[in-house]
Amino acid sequence: MLQLSSYFTLMATGFSLDEVVGPGTLGEKYLHGLDPTVGATVNKWFALGVGVTTAVISADDMLMIGVRRPERENRVRASGFDITVAEGAQVIADGLRDGIDHEELESALGLSDLNRATLEQVLQLDAERGGEILREQIDLHGVALRGLEEELGLRAHQVRLQIVRFAVEWKTYQYGFVAVARSDATAEEINYYRNTRATHSKDIWRLEWQPMADLGRIARYLTDSGDRMWGFGWEAARAALCSHHSQDEVTEYLLSL
Q: Where are the domains of the chain?
A: 2-96+135-256
User: Where residue 78 falls among pLDDT bands split at 50, 70, 90?
Assistant: low
* pLDDT of amino acid 3: 36
The answer to whether 215 touches 252, Cβ cutoff 8 Å, is no
pLDDT computed for residue 249 by the predictor: 87
pLDDT digits over 12-29, tens only?
A: 565 566 665 566 665 566
- As a whole number, mean pLDDT of residues 86-112 equals 92
Element (H, E) at 159: strand 159-169
Rounded Cα–Cα distance for residues 15 and 24 (Å)? 14
Q: What whole-number distance in Å separates Cα of residue 20 and Cα of residue 155?
A: 26
- Beta strand pairing call for 204-211 and 51-57: unpaired
At residue 27's C-alpha, the angle toward residues 23 and 30, to 5°, is 110
What is the CATH code for 2-96+135-256? 3.90.79.10
Could you give the maximum distance between any two Cα atoms of the chain, in Å?
Answer: 59
Q: What's residue 11's pLDDT? A: 61
pLDDT band for 223, please (50, 70, 90 cuts): confident
- 162-192 confidence digits (pLDDT tens): 988 888 877 666 788 899 999 999 999 999 9
Q: What distances in angstroms separate CA 47 from CA 87, 96, 114, 225, one per listed residue? A: 12, 10, 15, 31
